[in-house]
């Protein structure tokens, strides 16, 4: 463990320390504290002086630069900077965390701790989410789950924009990024424990991962978020297709278990019917499109290049407060930051998909392939979630998205570096990314 952390250069420890100190002020920014982000830029200058580069390169650099440009332009054009500041600071924090992972996790020994840290973030998000989640006035699809949710104590965190509590869809949407990886890690550890058949360190790890996975799954079900469930269903299909080709018996348990959860949820718990299957509910969907999506499209038409600014839909007279949550991540992105930002965001997702595919096909170790499979499954689930709801760019829950992207890029960079060292000849110049220190280097 110590060997892995010793491989992190001093300038990256400085970056991590500055992030930890400034993160609370960027999560809850004010006009007086926004300038603390400049400390992170100062660390980048220090890195350039020490190493001759601002950061290690990644496949996603250009899309991120486009997003930064779009956000920067909105900072200059919006009349009230303070209203957009929480989302702007959240986005900048996400980018900073992404590059902190890229530059710090360049040793094989540190990678398992980075993945474990991501799962710990998911557990923390689950606990905070269920404690702060708003309780509905009326029971949702399964009354027994609703009544159980009502018994869980609530905490009023007084987060700006969530004065009535966290929306269940936001909690479920954040967990779509975590649950596929948590499932994969759980079954990897379970397989290792079955092989050794001794409690010891592996048994303790299995117990810890199992509790973490169970809590996150429980919170996920209690959200009763249709958009999140749709995303996880796609992740199940994604696992099935990939593992069928590879015939990895380890991962067959993942879709089977998760499908069993869904079957139990809809049929064994006692729901009267599946949501949105009758004619009346379908009419509600059409009404929802007219209520939320059409105002979004009209906003995009009137501000196609730079959008109306982050977090400004709710104060735009042509939109209104109620319709400001467009219930579509991609329409919301284009409305706030313009069509170029939407194109850059799709480039992020396609880049993440490419990096995941390359790592899955070329990584030598099974745990690396399975880890990137879990991360990719989370991104696929979040992508589907985005068609039905949104966690806006810069939202606090969206920090999980950037951590997931960072881990995918870290595993990709490592795989590229090892392939280059082996001289396999399968890489082109665009893969020539500096890995730095690594196992055996």
For residue 437, being part of any structural domain is answered with: no
Q: What is the pLDDT of residues 138-157, one digit of tens each?
A: 545 566 666 666 677 777 77
Split at pLDDT 50, 70, 90, the class of 287 is low
For residue 439, being part of any structural domain is answered with: no
Beta partners for residue 441, in sequence order: none
Are 183 and 213 within 8 A, CB to CB?
yes
For residue 438, being part of any structural domain is answered with: no
Percent of the chain with pLDDT over 90: 23
For residue 440, being part of any structural domain is answered with: no
Q: How many domains does the chain have?
A: 1
What pLDDT does residue 401 have? 95
CA–CA separation, 19 and 367 (whole Å): 29
Beta partners for residue 248, in sequence order: none
Asked if residue 274 has pLDDT above 80, the reply is no
What pLDDT does residue 226 have? 81
Question: For the residues 384-410, what does the mean pLDDT come to?
Answer: 91
For residue 441, being part of any structural domain is answered with: no
Beta partners for residue 133, in sequence order: 166
What pLDDT does residue 178 have? 94
Domain interval for residue 424:
2-431
CA–CA separation, 322 and 315 (whole Å): 10
CA–CA separation, 48 and 197 (whole Å): 49
What pLDDT does residue 188 have? 85
- Report the candidate in 392, 408, 400 with the shortest Cα–Cα distance to residue 345: 392
Most confident of 52-56, 160-164, 269-273, 276-280: 52-56
CA–CA separation, 342 and 306 (whole Å): 10
Average pLDDT, the chain: 78
Asked if residue 406 has pLDDT above 50, the reply is yes
- Report the candidate in 438, 341, 416 with the shortest Cα–Cα distance to residue 71: 341
Are 3 and 111 within 8 A, CB to CB?
no
Neighbouring C-beta atoms of residue 181, cutoff 10 Å: 26
Neighbouring C-beta atoms of residue 275, cutoff 10 Å: 15
Asked if residue 260 has pLDDT above 90, the reply is no
For residue 44, being part of any structural domain is answered with: yes
Beta partners for residue 166, in sequence order: 133
DSSP state of 136: P
Q: What is the pLDDT of residues 75-85, one digit of tens each?
A: 887 777 777 88
Q: Which residues contact 80 (CB under 8 A, 6 or more apart)?
A: none
Question: For the residues 261-271, what does the mean pLDDT come to?
Answer: 48
Write down the pTM of the prediction: 0.84
For residue 177, being part of any structural domain is answered with: yes
Q: What is the pLDDT of residues 329-374, one digit of tens each?
A: 888 888 888 899 999 999 999 999 999 999 998 888 888 999 999 9
What pLDDT does residue 434 have? 46
Question: For the residues 299-320, what does the mean pLDDT come to?
Answer: 74
Split at pLDDT 50, 70, 90, the class of 439 is very low
Query: What values do phi and psi take at 9, rounded to 5?
Result: -60, 160
Question: For the residues 194-204, what does the mean pLDDT come to?
Answer: 72
For residue 405, being part of any structural domain is answered with: yes
DSSP state of 325: S
Split at pLDDT 50, 70, 90, the class of 243 is low
């Amino acid at each position: 463990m110590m060997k892995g952390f010793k491989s992190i250069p001093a300038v990256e420890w400085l970056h991590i320390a500055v992030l930890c100190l400034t993160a609370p002020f960027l999560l809850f920014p004010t006009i007086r504290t926004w300038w603390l982000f400049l400390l992170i830029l100062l660390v980048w200058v220090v890195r350039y002086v020490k190493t001759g580069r601002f950061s290690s390169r990644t496949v996603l650099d250009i899309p991120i630069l486009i997003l930064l440009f779009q956000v920067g332009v909105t900072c200059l054009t919006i009349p009230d900077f303070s209203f957009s500041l929480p989302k702007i600071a959240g986005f900048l924090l996400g980018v900073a965390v992404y590059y902190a992972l890229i530059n710090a996790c360049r040793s094989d020994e540190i990678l398992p701790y980075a993945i474990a840290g991501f799962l710990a973030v998911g557990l923390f998000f689950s606990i905070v989410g269920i404690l702060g989640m708003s309780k509905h006035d009326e029971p949702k699809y399964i009354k027994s789950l609703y009544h159980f949710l009502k018994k869980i104590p609530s905490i009023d965190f007084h987060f700006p924009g969530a004065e009535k509590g966290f929306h269940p869809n936001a909690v479920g949407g954040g967990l779509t990024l975590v649950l596929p990886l948590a499932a994969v890690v759980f079954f990897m550890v379970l397989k290792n424990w079955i092989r050794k058949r001794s409690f010891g360190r592996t048994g303790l790890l299995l117990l810890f991962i199992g509790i973490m996975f169970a809590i996150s799954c429980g919170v996920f079900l209690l959200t009763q978020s249709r958009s999140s469930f749709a995303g996880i269903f796609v992740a199940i299909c994604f696992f099935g297709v990939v593992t069928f080709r590879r015939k990895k018996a380890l991962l067959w348990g993942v879709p089977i278990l998760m499908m069993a959860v869904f079957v139990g949820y809809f049929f064994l718990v006692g729901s009267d019917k599946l949501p949105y299957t009758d004619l009346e509910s379908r009419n509600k969907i059409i009404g929802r499109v007219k209520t939320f999506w059409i105002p979004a499209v009209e906003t995009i038409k009137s501000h196609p290049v730079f959008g109306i600014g982050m977090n400004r839909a709710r104060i735009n007279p042509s939109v209104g407060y109620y319709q400001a949550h467009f219930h579509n991540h991609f329409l919301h992105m284009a409305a706030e930051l313009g069509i170029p930002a939407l194109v850059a965001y799709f480039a992020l997702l396609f880049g993440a998909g490419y990096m995941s595919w390359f790592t899955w096909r070329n990584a030598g170790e099974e745990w690396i392939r399975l880890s990137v499979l879990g991360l990719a499954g989370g991104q696929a689930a979040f992508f589907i979630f985005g068609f039905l709801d949104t966690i806006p760019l810069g939202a606090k829950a969206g920090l999980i998205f950037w951590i997931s992207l960072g881990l995918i890029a870290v595993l990709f960079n490592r795989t590229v570096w090892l392939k280059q060292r082996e001289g396999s000849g399968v890489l082109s110049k665009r893969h020539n990314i500096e890995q730095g220190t690594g196992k055996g280097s």
